[in-house]
Structure 1
Amino acid sequence: MDLKIKKLSDIPVIKEAVTPQGGCSTSGCGSANDPTPELPQAIREKIQDHPCYSEEAHHHFARMHVAVAPACNIQCHYCNRKYDCANESRPGVVSEVLKPHQAVKKALAVAASIPEMTVVGIAGPGDGLANPTRTFQTFRGIREQADDIKLCLSTNGMALPEHVEELAALGVDHITITINSIDPEVGARIHPWVIWNKKRVFGVEGARLLIQQQQKGLEMLVERGVLVKVNSVMIPGINDEHLKEVSRVVKAKGAFMHNIMPLISEPEHGTYFGLNGQRGPTQAELTALRDACGTDMKMMRHCRQCRADAVGRLGEDRGAEFTADRIDELEVDYPAARERRDQVQAAIRESMGAKRLASTARAPVASATGKAASRPVLMAVATQGGGVINQHFGHAREFLVYRASPEGVRFEGHRRADLYCSGPDECGDREQVMASTLRSLEDCEVLLCSRIGIEPWSTLEAAGITPNPNHAMEPIEDAILAVYREMMESGQLAPVEEGSNSLMAEVS
């Protein structure tokens, strides 16, 4: 294998703009709500019910990860697969590793119990392609018994090229590659060694091998029409600025989406970075990098950095309902459950389509002075899913954050939160919980929820965050637009100069 890659310029890049699966180039492709280019219709149709690939779908559809791959073929300074906590959402974390037959039975049981589940993925706890026998046995078993379920794989890419043909043959057409660098010098600071030909290769040489394999695998997948999403971990001071070049290169080679994730580096997880004081990015740093990379490539902003055994919608985890001992006792009649799944998913797609039509039919609303608001506002939302505001503040374990501006609404990401209420008559350490929530939402001006108590209301308001329970059960974006209009009309937002070309948020 040629190992002459030494720097960025040595990595071959496709010279012409790639338009994966019938896509569009940078020019003339975008939306009022998001400066990122809009995905081509062919790709939107392919991911419309994939919660990990579609921001819209993640409100409605569920996914599951089956933990069948314990071994890994590279070492990452941000990973420690020995750690497990039932309440921890972090890649590589699992409570139990399954055998392939157990994973297949679990997939069928979850699909029968959670009819909105559309995707089964293998994401560890090691690397699926470092455990090819277990991975492909699992995929084949699911494909044979439930051909309506999408198959998905997350991989570091080290062993990807040798397995591309089998993945494509099995219909695994959604693959995520974690690519943290395209410069071996940078890569060596993140991945101290890789396994190649059954031997460890250290430092820059190992990083060079990893980069070469990742780039080759990416090109091979795109050639075969497989949708490729690239994940990158943002590590301040190591690869944060470099990820702009990573984004440019992977887009040129045909990846359709880039997911830049924050480093998780709490010391208690026992990772090299965590134990050596490497900090994760601030929310402002993460947003700025995503915006910088997102001018000509679709950014994923709804990632939850899920466990390798996650079950349910993004933001929830129902894995405890489907442990191996419970699954072994079940008799799953999947064909009988298939009809209900088809009905439930058809109804969800119809509802999503109706919401999209309603959105395009809205008429623009101007302020009483004819001027539009001049600055964006971040709003946090408590939701249990379904794309509506349907959660009590005290029951939220996370908040979705949206950016409202004269151009419309854009989803920015999620913020984790400690549970304020642990039962109907009992709450936890309120001061500690609220302090954590205020840190998480410090840049937000509004919090939308279905209900909220007087005490947390007062605390949030004193911190400059206005609670608003007046839009319970309304679609999230409609409510945000309505609140933004109210803020504009009340004079809370500074107006722009006369004659500005503002596309004011639209409301029904």
Structure 2
Amino acid sequence: MDPKPDRIIQIPVTVQGGCASTSSGCGDSHGRKSGLPAHIQAKIQDHPCYSEEAHHHFARMHLAVAPACNIQCHYCNRKYDCANESRPGVVSEVLKPAQAIHKALTVAASIPEMTVVGIAGPGDALANPTRTFATFRGIREQDPGIKLCLSTNGLSLPQHVDDLVALGVDHVTITINSIDPEIGARIHPWVLWERRRVFGLEGARILISQQQKGLEMLVERGVLVKVNSVMIPGINDHHLKEVSRRVKEKGAFLHNVMPLISDPAHGTYFGLNGQREPTEAELSALRDACEGDMNMMRHCRQCRADAVGMLGEDRSEAFSLARIDQDLPDYEAVRERRDQVQAAIRERMAARKRQGGTVTSIPSAASATPPSVRPVLMAVATKGGGLVNQHFGYAREFLIYKATPDGVRFEGHRRADLYCTGPEACNDRAQVLASTVRALEDCEVLLCARIGIEPWSVLEAAGIMPNGEHAMAPIEDAVMAVYREMMAAGRLDMAAEETTQCA
């Protein structure tokens, strides 16, 4: 049995009607704040990369058919035969269009929760237009029900907008790191434009102009646009709020500010030259600052260009060319099963909303709630489905939620080393636990389905209280329930904040 410390006073959870999991309004997690039109919410409700709610329930896959790139980025080093790194630009194998189509249909037959097929590299999708569009056409012909999605740096976007629309690609992500050429030239040293390399400020001006033009053209044609930006401390961190404001003006509906990955082992220019990554606190503060202008994405995993499965997992190794069958099953039966599975998921999501959704705020009747109550960060171990349903020992990442008197907000995720590798074998426990404590040092609670005595003791000693009492509960409900318990116990006074690491 899991160890259980003295119980904190239990306060009944009052569910508020009508709204989903954050305090910023009703609807999808990106629609709550700004009231997105119903037709846009319908487009993103099954898209795990565009909807915070959908990422708990639906899967995606990236097809690595685009090896070439038309710009150089100081944060990128593409690898085409790597199985060990988890970051954009990395794949185990580059596919030809026919191979990619076959793989997409095979995965669709095996993972009925898959709603989206995207092309995101390992180079740039539109620097390889023949391969990209041949792949999309083949998938569209075989399975019109799969959403098609594309990520691009935007340099070649304007000339291909009509092709994207004709193929029914209605979700496009553009990586925009700057709207100032002086800043852009520090991130992208050159672009390949009209068959020549253009360096420095001139190249940055061309890239920015093409990105903005392509964004406008997509929006005019009704394509949903998400903008990705890489946060690079000391270079574009203070500039990204202006980027967010500009792309919102142009019609983008979602902004994903991602942290720079600059591990020297990856061999990138920034990594080899000592450019530091942002801290979790810096990233969260920038996202909060941008959110005044834009809906922010906080659940991005910076996936490989051949990722398969739910966000937070990668099953690409199981679907390598050497492992997939050459013959497809009866695809009509595949589509029928997929439609049934996905309809059941949507019904469960809708039923939850009809029942009142999740707890979004402390009830107004709780007049004893002081205005000085501080927020609390909590980590959650989950296998998906929006539930607290994973054993601590099997978690490769933890989702981070912030609880306040106004509600619960998803903040992001933290990667972790796997504590347990099987029933008889565990990794170096002390090393793994120390790494987990560092990753979660600003959290006060860790919610999981179960946890052993040793990790419980180490986490508790570090000021992170494990909690296994909300197993299989919806995440936001569990977070708010624990927050209320802490409030009732008098542990949330702002006066105590000086001794707390939580942001």
TM-score (norm 2): 0.90
Does the alignment pair 1:202 with 2:199? yes
- Conservation of the 8 A alpha-carbon contact between 2:362 and 2:407: no
> Paired residue for 2:48, among 21, 46, 51?
51
Would the alpha carbon gap of residues 177 and 353 (structure 1) be closer, same or farther in structure 2, given more than 3 Å must change?
same
Does the alignment pair 1:387 with 2:386? yes
- Corresponding position of 2:487: 488
- 1:83 shift after superposition: 6.8
- Conservation of the 8 A alpha-carbon contact between 2:362 and 2:406: no
Would the alpha carbon gap of residues 307 and 205 (structure 1) be closer, same or farther in structure 2, given more than 3 Å must change?
same
The correspondence of residues 318-337 of structure 1 with structure 2, limited to 5 A, is 318-327=315-324, 329-337=326-334
- Corresponding position of 1:119: 116
- 1:86 shift after superposition: 2.5
**Structure with more relative contact order (C-alpha pairs < 8 Å, separation 6 or more):** 2
Aligned residues: 468
- Corresponding position of 2:162: 165
Would the alpha carbon gap of residues 156 and 43 (structure 1) be closer, same or farther in structure 2, given more than 3 Å must change?
same
- Corresponding position of 1:93: 90
> Paired residue for 1:246, among 223, 243, 248?
243
- Corresponding position of 1:504: none
- Conservation of the 8 A alpha-carbon contact between 2:157 and 2:211: yes
SS in 2 for 1:277: coil
Does the alignment pair 1:305 with 2:299? no
The correspondence of residues 21-100 of structure 1 with structure 2, limited to 5 A, is 30-31=24-25, 36-82=33-79, 85-100=82-97
- Corresponding position of 2:418: 419
- 1:361 shift after superposition: 8.3
- Corresponding position of 1:370: 368
Distance 1:190 1:271 in 2: 12
Q: Which moved more, 1:30-39 or 1:102-111?
A: 30-39
CA deviations over 1:303-327 (Å, ceiling 9, x no partner): 0000000000000011111111223
In percent, how many aligned pairs have the same letter?
A: 75
Q: Which moved more, 1:364-373 or 1:94-103?
A: 364-373
Amino acid at match of 1:442: E
Amino acid at match of 2:291: G
Would the alpha carbon gap of residues 201 and 495 (structure 1) be closer, same or farther in structure 2, given more than 3 Å must change?
closer
The correspondence of residues 151-300 of structure 1 with structure 2, limited to 5 A, is 151-300=148-297
Distance 1:331 1:133 in 2: 25
Q: Which runs of 5+ in 1 are unaligned?
A: 1-28, 497-508
Would the alpha carbon gap of residues 477 and 104 (structure 1) be closer, same or farther in structure 2, given more than 3 Å must change?
same
Q: Which runs of 5+ in 2 are unaligned?
A: 1-22, 496-503
Amino acid at match of 2:401: Y
CA deviations over 1:37-62 (Å, ceiling 9, x no partner): 34332211110000000000000000
- Corresponding position of 1:409: 408
Amino acid at match of 2:369: K
Would the alpha carbon gap of residues 348 and 479 (structure 1) be closer, same or farther in structure 2, given more than 3 Å must change?
same
CA RMSD, 1 decimal = 1.9
Distance 1:395 1:361 in 2: 26
Distance 1:341 1:39 in 2: 27
- 1:365 shift after superposition: 3.9
Distance 1:481 1:287 in 2: 20
Amino acid at match of 1:377: V
CA deviations over 1:419-471 (Å, ceiling 9, x no partner): 01111111111111111111110110000000101010000000000000001
- 1:405 shift after superposition: 0.3
